[in-house]
Amino acid sequence: MKFTKAAPYLQSVLRIVAAFIFVVHGTQKLFAFPAGPRFPLASLMGVAGVLETVGGALMLLGLFSRPVAFVLAGEMAYAYVTVHAPRGAWPFLNGGELAVLFCFIWLYFAAAGPGPLSIDRR
């Protein structure tokens, strides 16, 4: 019974943790921070970096969560289909595990909302 009462708050915690990791992926692409190559804004990776940084920050705050989550789920589905799937059918082998996982996490938040710890709920 205690876990049932905590479920909405754990939903918010999942959103915050996933969003933080997503922002880091975006800053890696845009600023080479904390490490990695920097991509030009006029490239697909640059656009992905902007979506991940800005969209991840909005998800972190829980602001415009449902539409942002829907867009981010689409970004991850596109990334999987265009980058990872051509390398093979299994996400574990084609490097697409994070794309699949993020796609379904964001799809969940598009349907379920951000949870109680969010600006959208205020």
C-alpha–C-alpha distance, residues 113 and 15, integer Å: 10
Residue 4 has pLDDT above 80, yes or no: yes
Containing structural domain, residue 66 = 2-112
Question: Does the residue 120 lie in any domain?
Answer: no
Q: What pLDDT, on the 0 to 100 scale, is given for residue 2? A: 78
C-alpha–C-alpha distance, residues 9 and 64, integer Å: 18
Question: Does the residue 119 lie in any domain?
Answer: no
C-alpha–C-alpha distance, residues 46 and 63, integer Å: 23
Domain count for the chain: 1
pLDDT tens across 77-96, in order?
999 999 999 999 999 999 99
- The model's pTM is 0.94
Q: What pLDDT, on the 0 to 100 scale, is given for residue 6? A: 94
Question: Does the residue 12 lie in any domain?
Answer: yes
Question: Does the residue 33 lie in any domain?
Answer: yes
Question: Does the residue 117 lie in any domain?
Answer: no
Percent of the residues in the chain that have a pLDDT greater than 90, as a whole number: 96
- SS3 per residue for 60-122: HHCCCHHHHHHHHHHHHHHHHHHHHHHHCCCHHHHCCHHHHHHHHHHHHHHHHCCCCCCCCCC
Residue 1 has pLDDT above 80, yes or no: no
pLDDT tens across 96-117, in order?
999 999 999 999 999 999 999 9
Q: Which residues of 59-74 are buried (b: 16+ CB within 10 A; e: fewer)?
A: bbbbeebeebbeebbe
Question: Does the residue 67 lie in any domain?
Answer: yes
HSE on the CB side for 81, CA within 13 Å? 7
Question: Does the residue 98 lie in any domain?
Answer: yes
Residue 122 has pLDDT above 90, yes or no: no
Question: Does the residue 118 lie in any domain?
Answer: no
